Chain A
Amino acid sequence: MSDYLSGNNPGSVQSEHEEHVHRDDMSSKIGMWLFLLTEVLLFGGLFLLYMAYRVKYTGNFHDAALELNMKIGTFNTLILITSSLTMALSIAAMQRARKGLSIFLLVSTQALGIFFLINKFFEWSAKFHHGLYPGSETLLNRPKGEYIFFGMYYAMTGLHALHVIAGLTLLTFMLVFIIRNKVNPDNYIRLENSGLYWHLVDLIWIFLFPLFYLMR
């Protein structure tokens, strides 16, 4: 009989659960990781398309990539990586009960995120100025592979930018929660989960950057 009782579900899991009926940090974390998995797959569809078209239009992709501004791309990569650092430090500060520092680091993360978007805005405007946007005369007269390259470029960086905006919104909520002490050194799972989301957004950019800017 004891075999049955010592099944592969440790009793401690349940008793821990009984203590906090409304709160189970491990569940929140599992839920968040599963959500991140769906995000990876959402972009996965686009990466798959990118791969297929890169094989089909290798030469055109090479030519079109030369039009992108590698300096802004590199700069934006640095900005996002730094923002991931400040995000992680903000959580670390919260763990050590340094509320003020945590807020400062969180706001820095947001500032860097906004900075990234501003750069992106100028980068896109420059492209539009040169007539490099879907449906433009200039692009319609280019080889089809270049048209697709820019289609993929706008779709992927655009979807990524939307995720940056979503992340910034999430971080604003966290800021309010920290100020109101709803996120505190004893309960910071929401801040941690938002951090995970922010890192994912960063990580996706880390893949977009070489695919569009570096592979020439």
Chain B
Amino acid sequence: MENADTASYVDFYHAEGKHKGILSWLLTTDHKRIGLMYMCSMMTFMLIGMTLGVLMKIEMLTPGKTIVSAQTYNAMFTLHGLIMIFLFIIPGLPAIFGNFMLPLQIGARDVAFPRLNLLSWYFYMTGGIFAILSLFLRGGPIDTGWTFYIPYSIRTGTDVILPLLAAFILGFSSIITGINFVTTIHRMRAPGMGFFKMPLFVWSLYATAWIQIIATPIIGITIILVIIERLFQMGIFDPALGGDPLLFQHLFWIYSHPAVYIMILPAMGAVSEIIPTFAKRTIFGYKAIAYSSLAIAFIGYFVWAHHMFTSGISETSRFIFSLLTFLVAIPSGVKVFNWVATLYKGSITPGVPLLFVMLFVFLFSIGGLTGLVLGSLATNAHLHDTYFVVAHFHYVMFGGTVMIFFGALHYWFPKMFGKMYNEKIAKWTIPVIFVGFNMLYFTMFILGYEGMPRRYWDYLPKYQTLHVISTVGSWILVTGIIIMLVNLINGLRKGPKAPMNPWGGKTLEWTVPSPPPVYNFEEIPVITHGPYYYGGEEEK
């Protein structure tokens, strides 16, 4: 079986379809091709977002003007946030790896609604293009910050409607993907694969898809209301007309906080795939991890107001939301302890994906613990809207989700492209990223603690040393990421052919050739074991 990939078969890149050339991609309904189209577009947006981030850090090298004006800086942090959040991190893992791997991991030939899947990519692209277009239209680029807080977003002269429309359309894309995944998981599992025999990545996609379905409509309606507020003076959020801007914040965070779990849950799922493979033993506490995904999705829906502790909500609600926020730490902790317990007494191979997981555990723990600092009412009053918050969510989102995005990229790369990258170079990029990342963001914790507010273009001279360290860190980090990407592209172009199962993984995607044939499985497999079965007794 291990050598079956040498037998003749046609992989999905070379299969004859209805269309040829570029149309065979643009009109495809193959979940694998759609996943790869997402990957190309998303990488492009990520590079744009990254460039903006680097330019912002250069601007912060000196107090006052370094390279751009204050207004340009406002537009830059807004777009950096918009692009990174709506175009990269939220759809990141589900749209790329979810699309590619979900049907493979549950032993299906495609998702439940292949054409809707393609439609969702087109919505994604439309949203992305709108966001970029808004840069060049009348009024100039949006400067409200990615949170679109009212009343500024209905007063500013910059063009707010187009980026809002972009976010709305992206929400549509996200909802369609969510509906597709939930239906696929319910209807298309291979025979014998009960819910508790699904790989944990699938579990995390399931929890994520539910959040996408339940939370996204709320941002949809909020965006529509802001647009009509700007167009027709509806008064619904405008304090001058009797509206309440706090209600905007509530609605905004009712979506945008669960969205944080849309970002992190699939990453946690990918971690639960990588660890058993590289520890060569079954995952510890399978059910606990599966349920904790659902628990995070559930509790995550009731913590939104912790973004509003200083906005003027009542003492009672602050107390309750602070308490609920602390509760999220429990299922997150359950996951981390189970991962560590899986590694214990495993026969560990330090492969590149596992090293990214180690990086994730370290950085995400710092992000998670500083989250508790922000979740406490007293410390929040001091740290709210400072660089401490910026550092916290970069540790969680970048150190958490994006590191696992990179890890998953290295884990599934051989399967997706049928090629291997240079593992030695890949390993060397990790310390570079580690050093750059911590220089860039750890300094921000200190800056924030000392009182540097976020989103400011100018600062007092006493903050300069830390800003300089941070900026230099951003250069090191970007160097690491570029080396990593170049290494992957080189692997793609001239890497050796990848075997069917390079890491010794046990989930179903490793039982088909690399890259997989169009319909994935010649025969739909029958499942008799849990997903990470390395022999011996199984947990019931």
Contacts and interface: CB of A to CB of B under 8 A. Distances in A.
B529 A4 contact: yes
A154 B236 CA distance: 11
Nearest to A143: B242
Interface in A4-45: 4-5, 7-9, 11, 13-15, 17-18, 21, 24, 26-27, 30-31, 34-35, 37-39, 41-45
Contact of B213 (A37, A46, A159): A37
B287 interface: no
A34 B179 contact: yes
B189 A9 contact: yes
Given A26-B187, A45-B218, A45-B251, A148 B243 contact: yes
Residue among A7, A35, A38, A145 having the largest count of chain B Cβ atoms under 10 Å = A38
Contacts of B528: 1, 4-5
Contacts of B178: 34
A95 B291 CA distance: 42
B183 A145 contact: no
A44 B218 contact: yes
A24 B187 contact: yes
A37 B247 contact: no
A144 interface: yes
A9 B191 contact: yes
A46 B236 CA distance: 10
B7 interface: no
Contacts of A49: 225, 236, 247, 251
B233 A134 contact: yes
Nearest to A21: B109
A52 interface: yes
A7 B196 CA distance: 9
A57 B242 contact: yes
B182 interface: yes
B113 interface: yes
A151 interface: yes
Given A14-B190, A14-B191, A39-B217, A52 B180 contact: no
Contact of A30 (B182, B220, B222, B224): B182
Nearest to B235: A151
A207 to B, nearest CB: 15
Contacts of B251: 45, 48-49
Interface in A141-177: 144-145, 147-148, 151-152, 154-155, 159
A96 interface: no
**Dominant secondary structure of chain A at its interface with chain B:** helix
Interface string B237-259: 00001111001000100100000
Given A31-B113, A134-B232, A13 B194 contact: no
Nearest to B212: A38
Contacts of B113: 27, 31
> Size band of the A side of the interface?
35 or more
A21 B528 CA distance: 24
Contacts of B236: 49, 148, 151-152, 155
Nearest to A146: B242
Interface string B182-209: 1100111111111111000000000000
B186 A30 contact: yes
Contact of B112 (A31, A48, A57, A151): A31
Contacts of B221: 42-46
A7 B197 contact: yes
Most-contacted residue by chain A among B197, B222, B234, B529 (CB, 10 A): B234
B458 to A, nearest CB: 37
Given A27-B112, A35-B179, A52 B235 contact: no
B430 interface: no
Contacts of A5: 192, 526, 528
B305 to A, nearest CB: 14
Nearest to A142: B242
A100 to B, nearest CB: 31
Nearest to A11: B191
Contacts of B196: 7-8
A56 interface: yes
Contact of B192 (A4, A21, A48, A135): A4
A14 B220 CA distance: 36
B214 interface: yes
Given A4-B528, A5-B192, A48-B251, A31 B242 contact: no
B189 to A, nearest CB: 5
A135 B242 contact: no
B224 A159 contact: yes
B183 A154 contact: no
A53 B225 CA distance: 15
B99 interface: no
A148 B235 contact: yes
A144 B213 contact: no
A17 B184 CA distance: 12
A140 to B, nearest CB: 8
Given A9-B194, A134-B232, A31 B180 contact: yes
B355 to A, nearest CB: 34
A122 B197 CA distance: 59
A50 to B, nearest CB: 10
B242 A147 contact: yes
A128 to B, nearest CB: 12
B529 A155 contact: no
Contacts of B524: 14, 18
Contacts of A34: 178-179, 182-183, 213
A135 B191 contact: no
Interface string B470-492: 00000000000000000000000
B242 A24 contact: no
A8 B194 contact: yes
A24 B217 contact: no
Given A30-B183, A148-B243, 5 more contacts: A14-B189, A34-B213, A134-B232, A147-B241, A155-B228
Nearest 8 A/B pairs, CB to CB:
A144-B242, A7-B194, A45-B221, A41-B217, A42-B217, A151-B234, A135-B233, A8-B194
Interface of A: 1, 4-5, 7-9, 11, 13-15, 17-18, 21, 24, 26-27, 30-31, 34-35, 37-39, 41-46, 48-49, 52-53, 56-57, 134-135, 140, 144-145, 147-148, 151-152, 154-155, 159
10 contacts: A9-B195, A17-B188, A27-B188, A42-B218, A45-B218, A45-B251, A134-B232, A135-B233, A147-B242, A148-B235
